[in-house]
A and B are shown apart, each in its own frame.
Chain A
């Protein structure tokens, strides 16, 4: 296995890998998670789905992975009807090409050892033991966790679990990688190590769709950003620079909030996070509000 996307699809380059039109999804038929999503995902894209908690990001990834079927609307993935894939038709081949890394690594790491978890996918493909071993060793090497292969998943730290979960999908050598909040709940150092690994996986043709609400990683891992609003529809679609530079959009999507901030006895109002997370090549950041002195009683 290489760091490049390994598999190819029968789709031609002019067709999107994923095509969603008016896609809705409701859990148990009543709890709406997505409410009319239109989206195209193209081959080789590094797409970030940005949205606040509850905006339907994880549900959308599960739909893209064909493990959920839309409640309404049209959805095609890699030339297949997703509803059919979710009901088991051609699911085996579909999952060779599309790999999903779940938000909670404990969901993904269900075997007795890390190696067994990484080997699970290739074994389901019916590969020969030598091929399974080679793929597992390579996936573990790519994630830098060769030394953890015989460890039980519950012995691992949060960052190690995330890496093991990604390795367990990489061993399938998917051409499309879906990552559900890969940096959630990680300490800053581990988070940026993981971001670096994701960047390396994004080389030469592999399509990566990542959900997150962490704005600081977006310019690093995305060449396109789709924002899901709190109405569970696509609110905006653009480059990282365009999206992160639109302060009103980010406020509407509940991705930033305005708050009062103190600097050396002066108080001002500005949207949190934006100015720190701009794409270096993007438009200039928003101006912060004017400084005003804080009354002695307000400093408490």
Chain B
């Protein structure tokens, strides 16, 4: 490294570090959405679930999520998870990818939510730890509650992830529409998904353009000014974009009432999925009462 480069490097590093979290966050969100799009690769595989009618899939998965949400038996939840995992594997979803996608976030979010229950649910204490006036005594019942809660969340998230992985976004939206979800809601969801990608790319572009012109360090005040300006600029761009999109809709005959093209035909196997999902859901709800 030359002398000039060596003397400039710490300044650049400082500048990058100070704005890095915003840039990283944007890049992270953008990357997640791109990955979500990328995962349509799985939705386009010739798997068993992929071939099913999206409306039937939606109803079936909703029934299973409902059963998992209402179940408080760990055995039942584990059974439902096993069924979900088997369905994923039979549809060509790699097990490690599927498990990682669900379990990386669950302990963090569900775990934090349920942590107090370990200590506050009444029951036999597993151990007792005195820290001055504070006594920490997790109970067996509390740990059981926490485990059931985390498993329940994991099953529900797994079902949702499996549905999204095996159904193209467009089909999912049409499925929602054909199940009676208002068209306006579906349209807003669809357009938000469509344009958030574009706006994130624009935001990333702003950061890259700034970085490419940054030759020295900037003060925290300057950086705050720049971020505020960027937010304002992006808001104004998105407003213009929304106006233009609306104009483009008007130009193609939009009069305020949305219509969508849905062309699905139910097959025998769709019926099988529906019956199987309802049977599993019913069994999950009835099992705790029937089992000793």
Contact = CB atoms under 8 A, between A and B. Distances in A.
Size bracket of the B interface: 20 to 34
B37 A111 contact: no
Nearest to B168: A150
B250 A112 contact: no
B251 A124 contact: no
Contact of A113 (B170, B191, B244, B253): B170
Given A112-B190, A154-B37, A67 B263 contact: no
B interface majority secondary structure: helix
Contact of B251 (A95, A111, A129): A95
Contacts of B252: 95, 99, 120-121, 124, 168-169, 172
A102 B260 contact: no
A123 B168 contact: no
B215 to A, nearest CB: 26
Interface string B224-266: 0000000000000000010011011111111100011101000
A interface majority secondary structure: helix
Size bracket of the A interface: 35 or more
Interface in A71-125: 88, 91-92, 95-96, 99-100, 102, 104, 106-108, 110-113, 115-116, 119-121, 123-125
Contacts of B251: 65, 67, 95, 99-100, 102, 169
A126 interface: yes
A116 B260 CA distance: 8
Contact of A92 (B255, B259, B260): B255
Interface string B25-57: 000000000000100100000000000000000
Contacts of B248: 100, 102, 107-108, 110
Interface of B: 37, 40, 168-170, 173, 190-191, 193-195, 197-198, 241, 244-245, 247-255, 259-261, 263
5 contacts: A91-B255, A110-B245, A124-B253, A124-B254, A172-B252
Q: Which 4 A-B pairs have the closest CB atoms?
A: A112-B170, A124-B253, A121-B252, A123-B259
